[in-house]
């Protein structure tokens, strides 16, 4: 790996901190998440079903509004549980030979409206020749989550996100860099923790980074974060190249 990622120029490289996932802690959290998600899903399905049943028979506008609110919040919990279980027990990758640039193009097309709304742009520097051994859906999830985190970190003013890739021996080095505020001292220890409450808005809230770690780990890759407290921040991924 290069010693200094894109996000750390020669003038600020000394101020950059490297944030690595804690495997033991994440494995323990994943086991808990898988069990808890399964147990919560059952009563949640009952709540959603009952709310829908009552809604069909209810004519009072105020009560209908309350029932729709119950249903929408229950669906929100269901989505969160889905992320929890994906982190805890993700499906086994279905490995294929995929072109990184093509996968990224599809991800960016889906997020085009988000970037326009956030007044942000993406600078892509990825050779068309880089092909990876990857599950295309899971690779798309990783790229989408990292771009979403960078986009949120640049709010409210927006800015540029750079995503690049180079081939080194048997791996591709992928870097996603933004100029948003970096991780504070107290955040670095918990950067990969799901739903860490002390984390600032826009820096991997929810299961974004833990989910990325799980997918990358299943692909025999690595992830680390290089960040200065005042920015920029670079998420660096090592991903095996297809033979």
In the chain, % of residues over pLDDT 70 = 89
* Tens digit of each residue's pLDDT (9 = 90 or more) over 117-155: 989 999 999 999 999 999 999 999 999 999 998 988 888
| Predicted local confidence at residue 62, as pLDDT | 93
Q: How many CB atoms lie within 10 A of CB 45?
A: 12
Antiparallel, parallel or unpaired: β 222-227 and 233-240: antiparallel
User: Do 160 and 210 sit in the same domain of this protein?
Assistant: yes
| 5 inside domain | no
User: Do 49 and 100 sit in the same domain of this protein?
Assistant: no
| Predicted local confidence at residue 8, as pLDDT | 56
User: Do 53 and 66 sit in the same domain of this protein?
Assistant: yes
Q: How many CB atoms lie within 10 A of CB 86?
A: 20
Q: Look at phi and psi of residue 121 and say left if phi exceeds 0, alpha if psi is from -120 to 50, else beta.
A: beta
Scanning the structure block, which residue is given the tokens 């599950």?
135
Q: How many CB atoms lie within 10 A of CB 175?
A: 20
User: Do 34 and 124 sit in the same domain of this protein?
Assistant: no
In this prediction, residues 3-20 reach a mean pLDDT of 59
User: Do 103 and 47 sit in the same domain of this protein?
Assistant: no
| Predicted local confidence at residue 63, as pLDDT | 93
| 199 inside domain | yes
| 236 inside domain | yes
| Predicted local confidence at residue 228, as pLDDT | 84
Closest of 109, 238, 99 to residue 170, by C-alpha: 238
User: Do 32 and 123 sit in the same domain of this protein?
Assistant: no
pLDDT band at 12 (very low <50, low <70, confident <90, very high): very low
Q: Distance between CA atoms of 162 and 6, rounded to whole angstroms?
A: 9
User: Do 68 and 181 sit in the same domain of this protein?
Assistant: no
| Predicted local confidence at residue 11, as pLDDT | 39
Closest of 216, 211, 214 to residue 80, by C-alpha: 211
Residue 179 has pLDDT above 80, yes or no: yes
Angle between helices 208-218 and 136-153 (to 10 degrees): 150
Q: Give the chain's largest Cα–Cα span.
A: 67
Residue 7 has pLDDT above 70, yes or no: no
User: Do 81 and 117 sit in the same domain of this protein?
Assistant: no
Using alpha carbons, list the distances in angstroms from residue 10 to 5, 7, 17, 236: 10, 10, 14, 18
User: Do 44 and 98 sit in the same domain of this protein?
Assistant: no
Residue 10 has pLDDT above 60, yes or no: no
User: Do 182 and 161 sit in the same domain of this protein?
Assistant: yes
Residue 2 has pLDDT above 60, yes or no: no
| 6 inside domain | no
**Which residues does residue 122 pair with via DSSP β-bridges, in sequence order?**
161
* Tens digit of each residue's pLDDT (9 = 90 or more) over 192-237: 877 665 555 555 456 788 889 889 999 999 999 998 887 799 999 9
pLDDT band at 22 (very low <50, low <70, confident <90, very high): confident
Residue 31 has pLDDT above 90, yes or no: no
* Tens digit of each residue's pLDDT (9 = 90 or more) over 35-90: 887 788 889 999 999 999 999 999 999 999 999 999 999 998 888 787 777 777 77
| 56 inside domain | yes
* Domain tally, the chain: 2
Instruction: For residue 58, give its domain range.
Output: 28-88
Whole-number mean pLDDT of the chain?
A: 85
| Predicted local confidence at residue 198, as pLDDT | 52
Q: Distance between CA atoms of 173 and 170, rounded to whole angstroms?
A: 10
| Predicted local confidence at residue 27, as pLDDT | 79
């Amino acid at each position: 790996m290069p010693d200094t990622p894109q996000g750390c120029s020669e003038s600020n490289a000394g101020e950059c901190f490297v944030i690595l996932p804690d495997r033991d802690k994440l494995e323990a959290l994943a086991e808990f998440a898988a069990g808890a998600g399964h147990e919560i899903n059952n009563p949640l399905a009952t709540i959603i079903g009952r709310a829908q049943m009552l809604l069909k028979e209810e004519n009072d506008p105020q009560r209908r509004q309350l029932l729709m609110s119950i249903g929408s919040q229950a669906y929100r919990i269901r989505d969160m549980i889905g992320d929890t279980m994906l982190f805890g027990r993700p499906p086994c990758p279905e490995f294929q030979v995929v072109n990184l640039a093509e996968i990224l193009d599809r991800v960016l097309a889906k997020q085009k409206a988000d970037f326009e709304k956030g007044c942000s742009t993406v600078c892509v520097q990825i050779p068309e020749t880089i092909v990876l051994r990857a599950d295309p859906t899971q690779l798309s999830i990783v790229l989408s989550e990292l771009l979403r985190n960078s986009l949120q970190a640049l709010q409210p003013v927006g800015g540029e996100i750079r995503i690049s890739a180079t081939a080194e021996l048997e791996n591709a080095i992928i870097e996603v860099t933004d100029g948003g505020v970096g991780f504070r001292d107290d955040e670095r220890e918990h950067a990969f923790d799901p739903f860490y409450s002390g984390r600032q808005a826009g820096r991997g809230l929810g299961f974004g980074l833990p989910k990325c770690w799980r997918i990358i780990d299943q692909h025999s890759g690595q992830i680390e974060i290089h960040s200065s407290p005042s920015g920029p921040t670079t998420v660096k991924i090592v991903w095996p190249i297809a033979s």
